Chain A
Amino acid sequence: MAVGTETASAENLASELPQRQHRTLWGDVWLRFRRHNLANVGVVVLVLLVVGVLAGPLIYTVDPEYSFIVDDIDSINQPPSVKYPMGTDDLGRDTLARNLFGGRISLAVGVVAMFVSITFGTLVGVLSGFFRRLDNPLMRFTDLMLALPSLPLLLVIIMLFRDTLKALLGPELGIFLLVVLVIGILGWMPTARVVRGSVLSIKEKEFVEAAVSVGTREPVILWQHILPNVLSPIIVSATLGVAAAILTESALSFLGLGFPSNVPTWGRLLFENKDFITQNPWLVIWPGMFISLTILSINFIGDGLRDALDPRQRR
């Protein structure tokens, strides 16, 4: 289990020098991850989705807000065709273009909200695991946060602070920051608990005792000996955190309380188009499929990572 600083820096070296027989922790993790079939499928699907929404709007340059009614009165609620690869919505806007733009925002929300919750969760977890005096108050605080009903509170907070932040930072950035912060702040508790548990068990390990006995100072022990060893649970919960955040944002938008209508996230597209389900089912199938594929692939990757990072499975 003992990972010093050398292995962390050797990680890059090892991948560049395959002829070396030296096996590293992360090299092993990679080997085990590659054996996990579903996780590999997940990586492929996720990479396709990410590349698609990042590069897509550069290649497919249709304006997501442009209404084709201007050109052709019949271009509303069209099924997929050569001209409109995913069809058009009730205002004659191109569904593919809207989904590509929506994907950018949905994925961005997922990643940024994950960073907020992981940073906070790791901080609380490490502090309460490492410093005995902080443990009880921080864990009581975590318990309190866990007892708060997150979806109702999310809805309420976003509803109440939406207009203020919109006025302060503009409709897009303001809502983005609000959604991301609130999802992050209401989602860090599981990470904190897992990290605390790992820190508590690693703190008792011999190598930490050795470090203490040679007079290493506390911050160094924390940064160089404990933190690298709690990376595995942090990585797993970060992966699953992205999925959870995307799901939460979609749920908020689906309830009409997420982004404004000119920011078509996948959840927002579902919300706007659910009433046209009888006229044009494609309108809900596309965004729903993208959300589901994203979350499914991230969950597969998370499962794979959990197995790969589990030291009990090491051969």
Chain B
Amino acid sequence: MKALLPLSLSPQIHAVGQYLVRRLLTIIPTLIAISFVIFAVLDLAPGDPTSALPETIRPEIRQQIRKAMGLDEPFPVKYGLWMRQFFINEPLSLIENAFDIQIGDGEKRLRVTSWGSRGVPVMDMILERVPQTLWVVGLAYLVAIVIAVPIGVVSAIRQYSIFDQVGTFISLIGYSIPTFFTGLLMILLFSVKLKWFPMIYDTNLQIVDWNSFVEQLRQSAMPVAVLGFFQAAILARFTRSSMLDNIPMDYVRTATAKGFRERYVVIRHILRNSLIPVVTLIALGIPAIFSGAIITEQIFRVNGLGALLIGAIQLNDIPLVQTVTFIFACLIVAFNLIADVIYGILDPRIRYS
């Protein structure tokens, strides 16, 4: 293991590197297990993928279609083929597209294709939808962090003040009211009554000038607000309790006793330590906010990943559903790892051993 990294790195970085390698190695079985679960659930499920085809197709042709789709193979063979497509063919095609190069015989390589849209590679469909989701989810998360962390900090410093009580109450409401209800309420208030924002998100909007940019901001306002409010509620609660854990610590008393001003102690001592778990939670929450976007996209008709998944489920488009679900799972695994690594980098007390 030691030979994997140059010795010139500082011990801490070196330890993180070693830890990273070890964790990356454990990720492989995890991902295989997850892919197996997702594949098995979808494959062993009752229901015939040809059932969505027109009734007029004769049974023997139906049988041929099933054979062409590779549905007659035994389960392990199907799983093996899917694994090869997903872990080898798809990344290769992605690299080819990204760098505009040719690796081997690209034409012959079998890609995971959609059943719903007749042979369009699933990955292409997904890549088409990613920008919309990323825009909404990313903005919402930024808004949530910017709002929640200061509120949590002030709430904790002024514990039991009016600000704290109101803030705590609102954040409890924020994470108790489901996003699909806040979304509908916002539509009711801001689209129907006040007519400030459009009710439906227009994905075809091209940002070419200032006006279209403003239009993009207007139509993003409500989806971002709904998702952001929910996340902010969770983050604010967490920041507050993390601050409260640190305030009674001895090092805080030492700093105050040395005569530092309160502001300095709060920012340089308490905040720095309290934010370590908050940053971890922020990383861990990214996959969840992607799932949350499934609902938000449905409310505002944002044409993103979540909408793609719902549409695929309704059309019984198994390859598309498998891929999107697996991508969600990869996000969870990846951000778990990122959170662990960030935690170790920020908190030198954590030893990777």
Contacts and interface: CB of A to CB of B under 8 A. Distances in A.
Contacts of B176: 243, 292, 295-296, 299
Interface stretch (B36-44, B97-105, B123-131, B273-281): B36-44
A289 B176 CA distance: 11
B83 interface: no
Contacts of B333: 147
Contacts of B181: 270, 284, 288-289, 291-292
Given A148-B37, A270-B180, A300-B172, A277 B291 contact: no
B74 interface: no
Contacts of B134: none
Given A156-B321, A157-B45, A288-B184, 7 more contacts: A152-B309, A270-B181, A281-B192, A289-B181, A291-B181, A292-B176, A292-B181
B173 interface: yes
B106 interface: no
B339 to A, nearest CB: 13
B295 A251 contact: yes
A146 B339 CA distance: 15
B310 interface: yes
B178 A153 contact: no
A144 B169 CA distance: 34
Nearest to B175: A299
Closest 8 CB pairs of A and B: A149-B328, A160-B45, A288-B181, A296-B176, A292-B177, A151-B291, A152-B325, A295-B176
A2 B204 CA distance: 65
Given A149-B328, A153-B41, A296-B173, A250 B188 contact: no
22 contacts: A143-B30, A146-B332, A147-B329, A148-B34, A148-B38, A153-B38, A161-B46, A164-B46, A255-B298, A257-B313, A267-B180, A270-B180, A277-B192, A278-B192, A281-B188, A284-B188, A288-B181, A289-B181, A291-B178, A291-B181, A292-B177, A296-B172
A261 B36 CA distance: 34
Given A144-B34, A150-B291, A300-B172, A250 B329 contact: no
A152 B173 contact: no
A247 interface: yes
Given A152-B291, A156-B325, A147 B178 contact: no
Interface string B273-297: 0000000000000010001001100
Interface string A244-288: 000100110011010000000001001000100110010011001
A304 B328 CA distance: 34
A63 B112 CA distance: 49
A133 to B, nearest CB: 20
B187 interface: yes
A212 interface: no
Nearest to A274: B184
Given A149-B325, A151-B291, A255-B310, A144 B33 contact: yes
Interface string B184-196: 1101100010000
B285 to A, nearest CB: 14
Nearest to A250: B178
Contacts of A90: none
B76 interface: no
A157 B40 CA distance: 11
B300 to A, nearest CB: 11
Contacts of B180: 250-251, 254, 267, 270, 288
B184 to A, nearest CB: 5
Contact of A155 (B299, B313, B332): B313
Contacts of B37: 144, 148
A251 to B, nearest CB: 6
A152 B328 contact: yes
Contacts of A255: 294-295, 298, 310
B266 interface: no
Interface in A94-153: 143-144, 146-153
A292 B46 CA distance: 35
A163 interface: yes
B41 A160 contact: yes
Contacts of B46: 160-161, 163-164
A159 interface: yes
A113 to B, nearest CB: 16
A114 to B, nearest CB: 16
Interface string B320-333: 01001100110111
A153 B325 contact: yes
A247 B314 CA distance: 22
